[in-house]
Amino acid sequence: MKKYKNPPPIVIAKRVIYALFLKELKTRFGQYKLGVFWFFLDPLIQVAFFAVLLGYIAKRVMPNVDYTVYVTTGILTWMMFRNVLNRGITAIDSAKVFFVFSQVKPLDAFISRVFLEFFIFSILYIVVMSILGYLEHEFVFFKPLEFIVCYICIFLIGCGLSLVIMVVSSLYRDVRKILGVILRVLYFTSGVIFPIKFIPIKYHYLLAWNPIVHIMELTREALFPAFKGVIGSLLYIFTSTIIILFLGLASFFLSRNRILQ
């Protein structure tokens, strides 16, 4: 009889991640007929709210920057980071039923869920920015590589933080409740909806510790030639991303037995 070789582990992992990815996609949008519509509506409502609320002030402070595009890029980038963080934390809990199969590993469930967020928000980003371009809002991707690097780095930072919080919350469940408060504070202090120059200079040294601030500032510099960020270092972004991702993976592998209990 002809013997069939088992596929290598990397092939098995790819197949498992793909299957879990499709399962997550169906769960996310398949339960509601208007699921995709509501997914688009949430960021658009936030953009419209802040464009009206702060648009006039922003025009005076940033005369050559389209504030609608400015706030759109900030909100979409932030929402991708937030969803990667929040949904990554619960990825393993949601997929425990599949761990009876030896081929399914905990990290596979995590990877499939966070990459789904990256995938759908990337599509959302392209669609929304295309609509804004069609409506003649002014922006130019004159630093496309820097823009892409910042977008990928904030995704990886979200992944690393998600793994760290997953481990910590396995010991202290209340951490997830505190996380919601922390995210609300970061939303208003990370340059998501208004430039850092709005914040008094004496606090800038504190904000500079936050890699998301650097990412937001450099993202806008990549879109608007007239925009000059107050804080922004690619070296700091790279360093922070590597450290946070390493801490996330290290804490996960050291504590994975406790997480699965």
Enumerate the domain spans of the chain.
Answer: 9-259
Produce one character per residue of 201-234: b if its CB has 16 or more CB atoms within 10 Å, e if not.
eeeeeebbebbbbbbbbbbbbbbbeebebbbbee
Higher pLDDT among residues 55 and 194, named by residue? 194
Under the banding of pLDDT at 50, 70 and 90, the label for residue 209 is very high
- Tell me the pLDDT tens digit for each residue of 114-171: 999 999 899 888 888 888 888 888 888 888 899 999 999 999 999 999 999 988 887 7
* Residue 97 one-letter amino acid: V
| pLDDT at res. 82 | 93
C-alpha radius of gyration, the chain, whole number: 20
Closest among 191, 153, 161 to 179, alpha carbons compared: 161
Average pLDDT score over residue span 246-260: 84
Query: Can you tell me the distance from the alpha carbon of 41 to that of 62, in angstroms, rounded to the nearest whole number?
Result: 27
Q: Take residue 65 and report the two structure tokens written for it.
A: 């920057």
Please report where in the chains the tokens 């790279």 appear, as a residue.
238
130: burial class by Cβ within 10 Å (0-12, 13-18, 19+)?
exposed
Q: What is the mean pLDDT of residues 78-95?
A: 88
| Residue whose entry in the numeric block shows the structure tokens 């793994």 | 163
- Evaluate the CA torsion angle 63, 66, 71, 77 in order and state its sign: negative
For the segment 32-46, what is each residue's pLDDT rounded down to a tens digit? 556 667 777 777 787
Return mean pLDDT, the chain.
84
Distance CA 183, CA 258 (A): 26
What are 149's two structure tokens? Answer: 């690097």
Higher-pLDDT residue of 60, 171: 171
Element (H, E) at 253: helix 234-259
Query: Is there a contact between 224 and 195 (Cβ–Cβ < 8 Å)?
Result: no
pLDDT digits (tens, 9 = 90+) for 166-201: 888 877 777 777 888 889 989 888 888 888 888 888
Banded pLDDT at 1 (limits 50, 70, 90)? very low
**pLDDT grade, residue 54 (50/70/90)?**
confident
Burial status of residue 200 (CB atoms within 10 A of its CB: 0-12, 13-18, 19 or more): exposed
Residues 60 and 63: their CA atoms lie apart, in Å, by 5
Classify residue 257 by burial, with Cβ atoms within 10 Å: 0-12, 13-18, 19+: exposed
More confident residue, 239 or 106: 239
Burial class (CB within 10 angstroms; exposed 0-12, middle 13-18, buried 19+) of 98: middle
